[in-house]
Amino acid sequence: MRISVFVTGLILGFSSTFAGDINGLSSREGLSLNGDWKIIVDPYENGYYNYRWLPFDAETHASRSAYFMDSKAQSPTDLIEYDFDKSKSIQVPGDWNTQIAQLYYYEGTVWYRKKFDYSPSENKKQFIFFDAVNYKAEVYLNGHKLGTHTGGFTPFYFDVTNRIHKGSNSLVVKVDNKRLKEGVPTLNTDWWNYGGITRKVRVIETPENFISDFELKLESVESKTVNGHIQLSDTTVGVDLVVSIPELKKELKLKTNDSGRVKFSFNTKKLELWSPENPKLYSVHITTADDELSDRIGFRTIRTEGKKILLNNEPVFLKGICIHEEYPVDGQGRVNNAEKAKQLLTWAKELNCNFVRLAHYPHNEEMLRLADEMGIMVWEEVPVYWTIDWTNEDTYKNAENQLSEVMLRDRNRASVIIWSLANETPVNENRTKFLTRLAEHAKNIDNSRLLSAAMERHDKEGEPHVYVVEDPLAEVVDLVSFNQYTGWYGSTPDLCSKIKWEISYDKPVFISEFGAGCKQGLHGDKMHRWTEEYQEYLYEETIEMLGQIDGLCGFSPWILVDFRSPRRVLPEIQDDFNRKGLISDEGIKKKAFFVLQKFYSEKE
């Protein structure tokens, strides 16, 4: 019997299993289904709907199949109008836009098929685990529909015990990246809507009663107390469990309660705390008679006190940069392996950053594991961006589900210090209600980290050179974070020196974006837009201006690398790229990179 508080996702069809097991499954290797998959591009969705636009799924409910499902011709005269075997191949993980030239701008359905051999062990469970599919996935195994998942950047899985065959198996996924008004994100964004099975796929095998969730976190710096919990998939009472951290010579012998859960707490003076200067991680092992899991976990605290952010009780200035999950060098797109993730974080390190904002959606898990190892604090975010359908309950549930999935996936990452709920959303009642509800949900899952949202600043009425932040959401979150583009949109960088700030909240102030577009290699006067000199000048003036803010605790300029966006069409300058990167899409550093690098190296 499985218990979970995330049943709502199931009812609304966001995932056919409970988000609650993500953490206990995602750290297992399993059988990789990465590599070549066959695809059929299906802009009219003919594999899903018949000519009366009725889903094949609904018609043949018993088998819950679809037309593009490897259906075998019953007789030689049966009409079958597709053939996966003769269709194109594509690499998984990967986006289709940069792998197949005709799909560069494509938004719609592509069917994916993978054939694989498997040999299920007796008395074990099997799961198919997807790290992410953008945006909607309908998944079928051996002709049977497993379920649907909505949301392009978070993991999901299906229990395929008794469904997976000994020998040959066929996994089919209908991937649809059409933008939707009621979607999260909605129709309008400023990034490329890469489609596809963009992250890893695995078959995972577990014992029948497996470790489905675990969490260890530091409660107190003074007493070095670590609190934790472990959840097993079954609610059997009295299952023996051992948690050990060999380097600390800790071994806790525990028993589950009648919810299959156990809570524990220990302290040890020997504990070294995780920080950017010393990103210490400990190997943690959890074992039962049937199952074992290991992870590398760092211990730290993060909290605010008045206008300060305290890491391990010490004030910290967040020297940040924003990053999209994209590696555009040589025409590439979505990050699809650990090397590319590492290159992005290595560039951030070269800037002397101790912090990154992973915008505007959850990035691949590798980024978080690397951030833990490399000592980089992280802001994680869900794609509640600009204008969401604030009054639509399904839209809310979708956002909540995506937030749950990323929070559960990364709950043991010491690097994650901030969960961010939204970006640049308009101040109005419906939006504030939606985001306040989302904030409450986040606190229920994890109240040991800071909550934020990238808000906006406004001109003070009658005083255009005085900037204020007036947003009821600022009362709900832990930081007053906002994006601002003085010197780029509607003004030039010389305005910065005239600006005064009035921010009345007794909370730390964080600037989640600033920046200017710049074509690498274009040089000219510092007042000439798109030149490296203009961007450099804007960075100098903005850093000076932000230094005047009382309670400033850091910033994350926009952005590390130029990134693709369909909004950015200016020929010879943008050519489909937002050019606010400090590094070009070919990996070349612009002049402003060195301004920020120097500032961060000198900043205490």
Q: Are 158 and 203 in contact (CB under 8 A)?
A: no
**Could you tell me which of 483, 380, 391, 481 has the C-alpha nearest to residue 432?**
391
Of 159, 424, 471, 541, which one interacts with ligand GCB (CB under 6 A)?
A: 424
Between 301 and 420, CB nearer to ligand GCB:
420
Residue 99 binds to ligand GCB (criterion: CB under 6 A): no
Token pair for 412: 């043991």
Closest approach of Cβ 116 to ligand GCB, in Å?
A: 38
For residue 300, which of 281, 325, 327 has the smallest C-alpha distance?
281
Which of 423, 535, 542, 556 contacts ligand GCB by CB under 6 A?
423
Beta carbon of residue 577, minimum distance to ligand GCB (angstroms, whole number) = 11
Which residues from 347-366 bind ligand GCB, rule CB under 6 A?
A: 360
Residue count of the chain, please give it. Answer: 604
> 403, 442 in Cβ contact below 8 A?
yes
**Residue 486 lies near ligand GCB (rule: CB under 6 A):** no
Residue nearer to ligand GCB on the CB measure, 23 or 574: 574
Considering the complex, state which of residue 173 and residue 321 has its C-beta at the smaller distance from ligand GCB: 321
Identify any residues that bridge with 585 across adjacent strands, giving them in sequence order.
none
Does 190 help bind ligand GCB (rule: CB under 6 A)? yes
Contact indicator for 324, 191 with CB cutoff of 8 Å: yes
CB of 269 to ligand GCB, least distance (A): 44
| Interaction of residue 580 with ligand GCB, rule CB under 6 A | yes
CB of 194 to ligand GCB, least distance (A): 15
Least distance (Å) between residue 558 CB and ligand GCB: 5
Question: Which of 145, 579 has the CB closer to ligand GCB?
Answer: 579
CB of 365 to ligand GCB, least distance (A): 22
**Which amino acid does the sequence have at 310?**
L
Helix (H, G, I), strand (E, B), or coil: what is residue 399? helix
Minimum distance from CB of 190 to ligand GCB (Å)?
4
* 558 is a site residue for ligand GCB (CB under 6 A): yes
Query: Contact letters (x/-) for ligand GCB, 430-469, by CB under 6 A?
Result: ----------------------------------------
Cα separation, 396 vs 409, in Å, equals: 20
Give 136 or 324: the residue with its C-beta nearer to ligand GCB: 324
Residues in binding contact with ligand GCB, number by CB under 6 A: 9
Which residue's CB atom is positioned nearest to ligand GCB?
A: 190
Cα separation of 221 and 554, whole Å?
A: 23
Nearest approach, Cβ of residue 434 and ligand GCB (Å): 18
Class of residue 537 by CB neighbours under 10 A (exposed 0-12, middle 13-18, buried 19+): buried
* Total Cβ atoms within 10 A of residue 401: 25
Q: 358 near 326, Cβ under 8 Å? A: no
- Residue pair 265/229 in contact (Cβ under 8 Å)? The answer is no
Smallest distance, Å, CB 346 to ligand GCB? Answer: 23
- Axis crossing angle, helix 393-409 with helix 429-445, rounded to the nearest 10: 30
User: What dihedral do alpha carbons 71, 76, 79, 85 form, nearest 10°?
Assistant: 50
Least distance (Å) from ligand GCB to the CB of residue 242? 46
**483 part of the interface to ligand GCB, by CB under 6 A:** yes
| C-beta of 184 vs 211, nearer to ligand GCB | 184
Q: Is 541 in the site for ligand GCB (CB under 6 A)?
A: no
146 near 158, Cβ under 8 Å? yes
d(CA 480, CA 454): 8
Min dist CB 586 to ligand GCB, Å, is 19
For the CB of residue 446, give the shortest distance to ligand GCB in the complex, in Å. 24
CA distance 248 to 263: 19
Query: Computed over its alpha carbons, how large is the radius of gyration of the chain?
Result: 25
CB-wise, 256 or 483, nearer to ligand GCB? Answer: 483
Please identify, using beta-carbon distances, which residue of 282 and 577 lies nearer to ligand GCB: 577
Cα separation, 365 vs 47, whole angstroms: 32
Question: Of the two residues 190 and 325, which places its CB atom closer to ligand GCB in the complex?
Answer: 190
For residue 513, state whether it binds ligand GCB (rule: CB under 6 A).
Answer: yes
Of 99 and 423, the one with the shorter C-beta distance to ligand GCB is: 423
CA 44 to chain centre: 30
Calpha distance 516→538 (Å, rounded): 7
326 forms part of the interface with ligand GCB (CB under 6 A): no
Cα end-to-end distance, the chain, whole Å: 52
574 touches ligand GCB (CB under 6 A): no
Residues of this chain that bind ligand GCB (CB under 6 A): 190, 360, 423-424, 483, 513, 558, 578, 580
